[in-house]
Amino acid sequence: MSKIVADTSVIINGQLVSQIESGSIRNFEIIIPQAVFDELQSQASKKKEQGFIGLEKIRKLKSLSGSYGLNIIVGGTHPSSDDVKLAGSGRIDSLIVDMAKQNNAILYTSDHVQHLVAQAGDVETVFLKSRIKNETLEFLKYFDSETMSIHLKENQYPLAKKGKPGAFVLTKLNDELLSKEYLEMISAQILDIVNISDSTTLEISKTGASVVQHEDYRIAITHPPFSESFEITIVHPIVKLSLDDYSISDKLMERFSDSAEGIVISGAPGSGKSTLASGLANFYYKQGKIVKTFESPRDLQVDSGVTQYSKLDGSFDNSADILLLVRPDYTIFDEVRRKEDFVTFADLRLTGVGMVGVVHANSPLDAIQRFIGKIELGIIPNVLDTVVFVKDGGIQMVYDLELKVKVPTGMTESDLARPVIEIRNFENDVLEHEIYTFGEENVIVPVGKKVDKIGIEKLAEDKIKETFRRYDPNVEVEILSDNRVKVMVDERNIASIIGRGGSNINEIEKLLKVHIDVVEKSSDDLSLTSNDLPFSFSESKTAILLTVNRDFTSMHADIYANEKFIASVRIGKKGQIKIPKRSDVARTLMDFSSSQNDIKLYLKDF
């Protein structure tokens, strides 16, 4: 009886069983090396699917032996501890080749390297190339054009998420409870095709968990001891979007095109982050850029010209060493999660590579927070310049980061100046948060919107404004503390306020019983705080009429003539201010003005 030695590869992929069932192998003694059996047993003990599949194939070989005149034996010695340690260097494979030589047997293998080694050692060998079976994978029956993912769990009904990101419904697919055996069959099909199809890769294999990327299906298989029961989750993208499919402002599109090179896309799971990242990758590729991706698993839907990298020797840091040698313009880093991922992202960005990172976060602020502590605070704006928050498949918020040396908002003393990272709403440039070091902690502080002052603080501010309006009708007052205020006036009025040797300001301080800082009003302050009201001037037989926009009806305004305060008045119905000609106000107004151009109206902060 002729002899065959079968190695691990030809058992697991089922090619030896297929040859027997087709009648190509009859009346043979099939020797399964003890090293192969021990390897499969070890994998099964660690709850790895490959071990279970291999042992199941050996069981099937034995069940076929009687019908095809086969003698199935496990031969050879158990590999030593040194053999196991050196398995990655080919020691186990050498033991298998030696067994074929010692038994004058034919080596059957699906491992190309093993086949070449056997030929070089003058061992007769048959290479059984893995073939793709025509059978349809069982899990595909659960998918249709609206299915985003399916969730199959032992002793539960099959479930599916149908719809689109942000608008999906969890649907029960049928009323049949899933058995463990059925899920193991689906798992075996999936892992079988890993060894056959070039479009299928085993991305992660751990005790109790496996992740497979089959074409554009991302498959996660879990079972005890990792999970309490057998479960298979399969995710399938149903849409492939370009940037044109998003509601992106011209300002943001210009940012993406010209200057954004440290982009973070954040959002909750299933919000559409990876879809936007794929769109950006294709956008940059079509602009003539060299684009690469870092993914584990590799499931981004990108153009064929975009190269997808996974972890090299279990680390993206090793992948980064190769990445720099291929000189990419942009790298899409999908799922930045671990501390080393944040460090790698920052390191690549600082080398000049344009980076787009995908980060799980419930808000754009949380995405920035995840970088704090992983990299130095001061270099965060050099690593991140644009933070995009995605929700329900669309871009909801965009933040811009910039580092400045300033006194943080809310602090008053100039000696408290420090490096501050400003977080602004990208679309309207409004400052929303600041990041800086406070004591020994890095803090993110919201910058509150300006609110109307009430009560005693409002009365105090009005009193101070009234005192200084004789010098500058556009004076602005900021109350810094209970005994200190800042008065902002036009530069040309500062000298008259201070007085010779500070005599005037000292008198004002004694009157108001507060310390006053007189500062020049910046051009930004002038544009933001000016409340000069446009009006039309007319007269009736008995009154002077100043008419403003009727939106200001019932509000209060101050009247000035040649920068001299005349009176405070209430704006009447239809935006009209009526000043009787016989009144003191009318006479004073006419005395200090020679034309309408000399009169100014200022809306009060009521």
Q: pLDDT for 310-334, tens place per residue?
A: 888 888 999 999 998 999 999 999 8
CA atoms within 13 A on the CB side of 98: 12
pLDDT tens sequence across 259-287? 888 999 999 887 889 889 999 999 999 99
Question: What pTM was computed for the model?
Answer: 0.59
pLDDT (0 to 100) of residue 449: 57
What is the SS3 assignment for 288-334? CCCEEEECCCCCCCCCCCCEEECCECCEHHHHHHHHHHCCCCEEEEC
Rounded Cα distance between 255 and 541, Å, is: 60
Rounded Cα distance between 274 and 276, Å, is: 5
pLDDT tens sequence across 119-144? 998 999 998 876 655 457 899 999 99
Residue with tokens 């080694």: 117
pLDDT (0 to 100) of residue 527: 41
Rounded Cα distance between 471 and 489, Å, is: 9
Mean pLDDT over 69-79 rounds to: 87
Mean pLDDT over 510-515 rounds to: 85
Query: pLDDT above 90 covers what percent of the chain?
Result: 30
Rounded Cα distance between 159 and 161, Å, is: 7
Domain 138-235 belongs to what architecture?
2-Layer Sandwich (3.30)
pLDDT at 85 over 70: no
Mean pLDDT of the chain: 85
pLDDT at 190 over 70: yes
Query: Residue 174 — φ and ψ, nearest 5°?
Result: -160, 180
pLDDT tens sequence across 411-461? 766 678 889 999 999 999 899 999 998 877 888 888 865 544 556 777 788
Rounded Cα distance between 425 and 323, Å, is: 33
- Show the DSSP H helices in 431-499 as ranges: 455-468, 494-498
pLDDT tens sequence across 344-356? 999 999 999 999 9
Query: pLDDT above 70 covers what percent of the chain?
Result: 92
pLDDT at 88 over 70: no
CATH class in words for 531-603: mainly beta
Q: Report helix, strand and coil shares of the chain as percent, to nearest 5.
A: 35, 30, 35
CATH node for 2-127: 3.40.50.1010
pLDDT classification of 292: cutoffs 50, 70, 90: very high
pLDDT classification of 65: cutoffs 50, 70, 90: confident
Same fold: 138-235 with 455-527: no
Of the ranges 89-98, 99-108, 453-462, 554-563, the best mean pLDDT one: 99-108
Q: Where are the domains of the chain?
A: 2-127, 138-235, 243-446, 455-527, 531-603
Mean pLDDT over 250-266 rounds to: 90
pLDDT classification of 340: cutoffs 50, 70, 90: very high
CA separation, residue 600 to residues 252, 492, 497, 565, 582 (Å):
41, 19, 22, 9, 21
- 455-527: CATH superfamily: K homology (KH) domain (3.30.300.20)
Rounded Cα distance between 161 and 171, Å, is: 6
pLDDT classification of 336: cutoffs 50, 70, 90: very high
How many Cβ atoms are within 10 Å of 293's Cβ, its own excluded?
Answer: 23
pLDDT (0 to 100) of residue 69: 87
- Domain 243-446 listed as CATH 3.40.50.300: yes
pLDDT at 529 over 50: no
Rounded Cα distance between 584 and 39, Å, is: 106
Which of helix, strand or coil describes residue 162? strand
pLDDT at 523 over 60: no
CA separation, residue 280 to residues 244, 367, 467 (Å):
10, 19, 58
Rounded Cα distance between 401 and 419, Å, is: 13
Q: Is the dihedral of CA 551, 553, 559, 562 positive or negative?
A: positive
Cβ atoms of residues 329 and 344 within 8 Å: no
Rounded Cα distance between 289 and 282, Å, is: 10
Cis peptide before 225 (omega within 30 of 0): yes
Instruction: Give the helix/strand (H/E) hosting 431.
Output: strand 431-438
Rounded Cα distance between 19 and 16, Å, is: 5
